[in-house]
């Protein structure tokens, strides 16, 4: 099988409201950043492009097509899109390279969530007969899951606040983060509930922004001469769309994806886990069977800033960044999609 590496990555700051900046304008600086890391002129210099976004955020069918304006599609390019987080665009691009149809690929994800009411917008992606007509929002769904964990004694509100405190602290060293600061667990627990048992701080903020990445065969990566990290495993698994038909206190699909991606074949120095709610970071760390010495979300994770449809790709990008900076030798990136961690992707990255 062809060995594939991440060779370039960039993410925008997470901002609560990008104002009049449109999606193309959110994407373009990130594309320019990855081009400059490799000395590329444009998307013409890669073999394939794949993006991830959600038309529901813009409220229009085929809204993602406008994002292609950021590429400059003339002369024609090979291009694809997933109505998913761009971590799944990465997956598609990897398949394309593995099949020998491309040697390099550009991946980008973007989301401008601020114009709508994100938890309600996302409720319309639930099944259209049983749940979507109830406008069951994502925060409430996560709160139902959190209570199951709390009342079964699998974690405490103190544990959840500790996740938030660590995220805010770690985010102080992350210039792209939206929420950062020093908070004690006691201070966080003193805040009133938002959707009990969740407090506002247990929920990732709504953010606008974009991320971009370039991957290539290891041969192409060497030819470009840029530092790279090899993707030594990647897999994704999905569970039932009805949250009531799943064990919400575990993530079976994460366990399956982790096993298939080979997470346990070596030590994990760093793990970037896509946990939009504090209790989910604990749940996912257990499902990934992370050792106590593994650094989890050292940049604050998505509790410090959550770019819908780009945060999953950003988890992979953050692990890449730590490996090429020499901070880690082997890392795990996780992405999630759907209500209460329905669909999970796990990737393993290792140094060159």
- Residues engaged in binding other proteins (CB under 8 A): 59, 117, 119-120, 123, 129-131, 133-137, 140-141, 143-148, 151, 193-198, 240, 242-245
Nearer to other proteins, 183 or 277 (CB): 277
Cβ 200 to other proteins shortest distance, Å: 11
Distance CA 93, CA 214 (A): 10
Cβ 299 to other proteins shortest distance, Å: 29
Residue 289 structure tokens: 């069977």
Nearer to other proteins, 119 or 312 (CB): 119
Return the CA Rg of the chain: 19
Phi and psi torsions of 346, nearest 5°: -130, 130
Phi and psi torsions of 190, nearest 5°: -75, -15
Cβ 143 to other proteins shortest distance, Å: 3
Cβ 244 to other proteins shortest distance, Å: 5
Distance CA 41, CA 35 (A): 6
Nearer to other proteins, 89 or 143 (CB): 143
Residue 259: exposure state from Cβ atoms within 10 A (0-12, 13-18, ≥19) = middle
Distance CA 215, CA 94 (A): 8
CB 320 within 8 A of CB 299: no
C-alpha to C-alpha distances, 7 to 131, 225, 231, 316, nearest whole angstrom: 41, 9, 10, 12
Cβ 133 to other proteins shortest distance, Å: 5
Strands across the sheet containing 295-296: 79-82, 48-52, 104-112, 208-217, 4-11, 229-238, 343-351, 330-337, 270-272, 295-296
Cβ 116 to other proteins shortest distance, Å: 11
């Amino acid at each position: 099988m062809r060995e594939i590496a991440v060779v370039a990555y960039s993410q925008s700051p997470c901002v609560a409201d990008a104002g009049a900046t449109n999606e193309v304008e959110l994407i373009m600086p990130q594309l320019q950043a990855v081009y400059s890391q490799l000395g590329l002129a444009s998307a013409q210099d890669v073999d394939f492009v794949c993006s991830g976004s959600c038309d529901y955020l813009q409220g229009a069918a085929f809204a993602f097509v406008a994002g292609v304006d950021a590429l400059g599609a003339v002369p024609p390019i090979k291009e694809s899109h997933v109505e998913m987080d761009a971590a799944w665009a990465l997956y598609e691009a990897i398949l394309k390279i593995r099949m020998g149809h491309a040697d390099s690929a550009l991946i980008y994800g973007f989301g401008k969530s601020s114009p709508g009411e994100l938890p309600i917008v996302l409720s319309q992606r639930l099944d259209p007969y049983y749940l979507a007509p109830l406008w069951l929002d994502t925060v409430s769904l996560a709160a139902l899951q959190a209570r199951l964990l709390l009342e079964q004694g699998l974690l405490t509100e103190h544990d959840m606040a500790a996740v938030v405190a660590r995220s805010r602290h770690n985010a102080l060293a992350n210039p792209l983060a939206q929420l950062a600061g020093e908070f004690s667990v006691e201070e966080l627990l003193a805040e009133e509930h938002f959707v009990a048992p969740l407090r506002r701080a247990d929920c990732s903020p709504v953010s606008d922004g974009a991320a971009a990445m370039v991957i290539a065969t290891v041969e192409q990566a060497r030819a470009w001469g840029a530092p790279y990290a090899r993707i030594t495993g990647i897999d994704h698994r999905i569970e039932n769309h009805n949250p009531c038909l799943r064990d919400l206190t575990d993530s079976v699909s994460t366990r399956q994806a982790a096993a298939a991606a080979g997470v346990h074949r070596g030590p994990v120095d760093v793990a970037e886990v896509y946990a939009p709610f504090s209790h989910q970071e604990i749940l996912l760390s257990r499902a990934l069977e992370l050792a106590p010495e593994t650094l989890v979300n050292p940049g604050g994770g998505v509790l410090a800033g959550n770019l819908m449809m780009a945060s999953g790709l950003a988890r992979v990008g953050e692990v890449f960044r730590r490996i090429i900076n020499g901070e880690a030798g082997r890392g795990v990136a996780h992405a999630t999609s759907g209500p209460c961690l329905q669909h999970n992707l796990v990737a393993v990255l290792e140094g060159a």
